[in-house]
Chains A and B, each alone.
Chain A
Amino acid sequence: MALPDTASLPPTRTDFRDRTVGRLLRRPSALVGLILLAGILAMAGFADIAFPGDPLDMAGTPLLRPGDAAEFPLGTDMMGRDLASGIFHGARVSLLIGGVAALVSLVIGIGIGALSGYYGGRVDRALMRVTELFQTIPPFLFTLALVAILQPSIATITTAIGITSWSGLARLVRAEVLRLRNSELAQASIILGASDARIIFLHILPNTLAPVIVSASILVATAILTESSLSFLGLGDPNVVSWGGMVGAGRETIRTDPHVAAIPGVAIVIAVLALNLLGDGLNDVLNGKGERR
């Protein structure tokens, strides 16, 4: 297994970061993704300042259209709740769920992938059977079942999404680790007597970072979509505002007042689009395709 020499020599950290960010900013799609994401993050950050009240408060006349009243720029839903306030506060919940769920699946996926790839043999076989088990169950149905059993709340929804979405990542990391396990870098460390943990964390995992970062951005996007679908089906946390929950609430009035469902729907589209654009950009840049363009 002859590998190009450069692959076994990791670039230093600052190098990696500077070059990646620089190349990323030169790609228009990634740039758009970054800007959109920054906007959503700002909305989440400034929600309390822009809309200090409770977003669930029945603040105005029900079903105002956007522009009907100055104090409700995006209108109100069927309970008289301010849609603009819901979008801002909902950004928080959607990003929180997306971020934490992605983190959960990253920890599980990388953990299982790394152990499986590094140790091989019986460990590998056992862990891969488990992974396959998770892969054979349709992830959305699995999440649905978990949330229905655990009863919907932010914590259970996040956990359920995290638990059901790591299997692809685990296989990806395993493949990478398997490759690096036999590289000269790892072999040299073993000969030098480094511990397994040191080799995995210091030498192998940093080199799998590129595909992991790319899939993380997609994982966040998927988690936001999954939470929205759950809320749409009535399995969201009724105590907080989330974009999916808002779409679900607006479904009943879609013929008469489409804006109630459409506005949070657009927010979801933008968030998922931003993360996908960013993921694509990262993918191109980290795999070196950016230079060849």
Chain B
Amino acid sequence: MIGRDRQVAGGIRRRMVVAAAMMMTAAAAVGVLPVSAGSAAAQEARKGGTLSIILQPEPVTLTPSTNMAQPTQVVAGNIFDGLVAYDFDLKPKPALAERWEVAPDGLTITFHLRSGVKWHDGKPFSAADVKWSLENIWKTIHPRNKSLFENVTQVDTPDDSTVILRLSKPSLPILSVLNGVGAPILPKHLYEGTDILNNPYNNKPVGTGPFVFKEWKRGEYVELARNPDYWEAGKPYLDRLLFRIIPDAAARAAAIEKGEIQYAPYNPVPFRDAERLSKLPRLKVDTRGYEWLSPLLYLDFNVENQYLKDVRVRRAIAHAIDRAALAKIVWFGYAKPAISPVPSSLVTFHNAKLPQYPFDVKKAEALLDEAGFKRDANGVRFTLTHDFLPYGDDYRRTGEFLKQALKRVGIEVTIRSQDSAAFIKRVYVDRDFDFAISYNNAFPDPQIGVVRAFWSGWLGTGTPWTNGSGYRNARADALIQEAGVEGDPAKRVAEFNEFQDIVLGDVPSLPLLELNFFSVYSADLQGIVEQGDQVYSSLKNARFVDAPKAN
């Protein structure tokens, strides 16, 4: 309780300072004066209030060191600050690092850290924490980062606020993963010498972020409180974040509608309900804030299948699918047709001048005829089995959509459903499938989330969400390898352009849709979506413009 009292005292002290500067606002925050909605003072920087947030499903842990599940990252983004954050164009902007330099040869990256930053337990944050986290987490146990930090041979900390990464080969994608969940910095003084995976602080995290962990009541909520010593003066605005666990979608929709929940990220309700909620004046539905993830829905063809090994058949299937209709009907417009495995949100790398597969049933039929698969008496050319990622009805309906689309060109499809463990084993381990739907987050650099679906080095490893099609192309492999260690950004773009050209020509994996996740939040809130990695970042800019509703 001592820690808690200290925080409360800190909060009061801060309020007094603010009150001196801005009487009206501060008075409103402590509830002395009622402020009418929309008044100028309230619009400026209203402080205080509890923000209730949907957390779905309940996380397994609250520290994003090995478990990269979405709910873990949604909470952790508020507790852990990263070296940088990302704007809507996915460019890094300062956070714990005030500035950074990459040497022209790409072999040295220097970070200059903000000074005076404190961990939530009062200990000072320093370069040693970054060095320790890099060596013990990013490079070793963090599932996405291992390959990116592989070439970091040495980390120097000449003083408490400088970190120098020395690399054997350049690794530019590092600069795309340095936010609080992509490269989490954990307190060395609490983790050093312990079993990192079972450290008790994993479930009562201590970070440097704008909100301090208070309580996790399993099955009910995770509570965070304002960090009064946060390095960014005046922030955060809110007193408390309450992440509530509501497993039922209908109950979530009702809670949002009633105003009990004011912020709900990650598709909290079915698409059709989102449509309905977006029409209510009190609520906003927003698809921004997910740019850092760039989720892509794709169709993996098993290139060892007797029909699908023929590239003409794969191209025919690509022509037979009306991706605009798929986006509109199955995904209710919360998606847009994808034309490249590199999503268009990766502005630097996305190449729009590529082989295209417009919806064209005649062309599809012609390609299948050319491949020698004629229609039989029943109009069937051949039969394929389809497996869909068992992540919910949207994926099942995508499978049903494909079944009907391919029926039109004479391909009979049998849909097979299974649980996610069986799906992963079937597609990535046993390779006992014909074609399957799945989705991957691309992240800001193709090296992180895109090339894994095409690099032959993943074959035989059984790693989920890697090369599912069984594709092998020496040139594509070479380009992936080169771009991984290329120090010149312009050359990397050229390499990725050629890469996209090759894999779209061969279509071992057909990009279907760029998915748009959405958040629902109260119109009373401001500053909810301010950056490209918002959902995995903090709500330090969030504030109520109206008096928050009582809970």
Contact = CB atoms under 8 A, between A and B. Distances in A.
Interface string A146-162: 00100110000000000
A13 interface: no
Interface stretch (B82-90, B107-115, B395-403, B445-453): B395-403
Contact of A234 (B250, B271, B414, B417): B417
Contact of B404 (A58, A255, A256): A58
A62 B416 contact: no
A239 B415 contact: yes
Interface in B404-419: 404, 407, 414-419
A79 B422 CA distance: 27
Contacts of A252: 249, 270-273, 393
A57 interface: yes
B367 interface: no
Interface string B252-279: 0100000000000000001111011000
Interface residues of B, number: 28
B440 to A, nearest CB: 23
Given A58-B329, A234-B393, A238-B400, A253 B272 contact: yes
A257 B396 CA distance: 20
B276 A255 contact: yes
Contacts of B272: 63, 78, 252-253, 255-257
Contacts of B275: 256
B417 A79 contact: no
Contact of A152 (B400, B403, B407, B417): B417
Contacts of B418: 148, 151
B330 interface: yes
B383 to A, nearest CB: 11
Nearest to B403: A56
A58 B403 CA distance: 11
Contacts of B396: 234, 238
B276 to A, nearest CB: 5
Nearest to B388: A238
Contacts of B401: 58, 79
> Max chain A CB contacts within 10 Å: which of B272, B400, B416?
B272
Contact of B393 (A54, A56, A249): A249
A137 interface: no
Contacts of B393: 234, 248-249, 252
B419 A238 contact: no
A57 B403 CA distance: 9
A80 interface: yes
A254 interface: yes
Interface of B: 249-250, 253, 270-273, 275-276, 329-330, 390, 393, 396-397, 399-401, 403-404, 407, 414-419, 422
Given A253-B272, A256-B272, 17 more contacts: A56-B403, A56-B404, A63-B272, A78-B272, A78-B329, A79-B330, A79-B397, A79-B401, A80-B329, A148-B419, A152-B417, A234-B417, A238-B415, A252-B249, A252-B272, A255-B273, A256-B276
13 contacts: A58-B329, A58-B401, A78-B329, A79-B400, A148-B418, A152-B417, A234-B393, A248-B393, A249-B397, A252-B273, A252-B393, A255-B276, A256-B272
A271 B547 CA distance: 53
A86 to B, nearest CB: 12
A248 B419 CA distance: 17
A170 B103 CA distance: 80
B275 to A, nearest CB: 7
Interface of A: 54, 56-58, 62-63, 78-80, 148, 151-152, 234-235, 238-239, 248-249, 252-257
A56 B400 contact: yes
Contacts, number: 63
A80 B400 CA distance: 12
A255 B250 contact: yes
A58 B402 CA distance: 11
A151 B416 contact: yes
A234 B420 CA distance: 13
B316 to A, nearest CB: 20
A292 to B, nearest CB: 49
A252 B395 CA distance: 13
Contacts of A152: 417
A62 B332 CA distance: 10
Contacts of B403: 56, 239
The 7 closest A-B pairs by CB, nearest first: A252-B270, A238-B415, A253-B272, A256-B272, A256-B276, A151-B418, A239-B415
Contact of B250 (A54, A249, A254): A254
Contacts of B400: 56, 79, 238
Contact of B273 (A56, A238, A239, A256): A256
Contact of A79 (B249, B273, B329, B416): B329
A13 to B, nearest CB: 45
A239 B384 CA distance: 13
Contacts of B414: 239
Nearest to A153: B416
A35 B272 CA distance: 38
Contacts of A56: 400, 403-404
B38 to A, nearest CB: 31
Contacts of B249: 252
A235 B417 CA distance: 7
Nearest to A254: B250
Nearest to A148: B419
A255 B272 CA distance: 9
A146 to B, nearest CB: 13
Nearest to B419: A148
A226 to B, nearest CB: 17
A257 B332 CA distance: 14
A235 B407 CA distance: 23
A248 B273 CA distance: 16
A253 B329 contact: no
A238 B417 contact: yes
Contacts of A54: 404, 407
A117 to B, nearest CB: 40
Contacts of B417: 151-152, 234-235, 238
Nearest to B394: A252
A234 B393 CA distance: 8
B402 to A, nearest CB: 11
A62 B329 CA distance: 7
A78 B404 contact: no
A54 B378 CA distance: 14
Nearest to B393: A252
A189 B457 CA distance: 76
B397 A78 contact: yes
Nearest to B399: A238
A248 B401 CA distance: 17
Nearest to B390: A234
Contacts of B270: 252-253
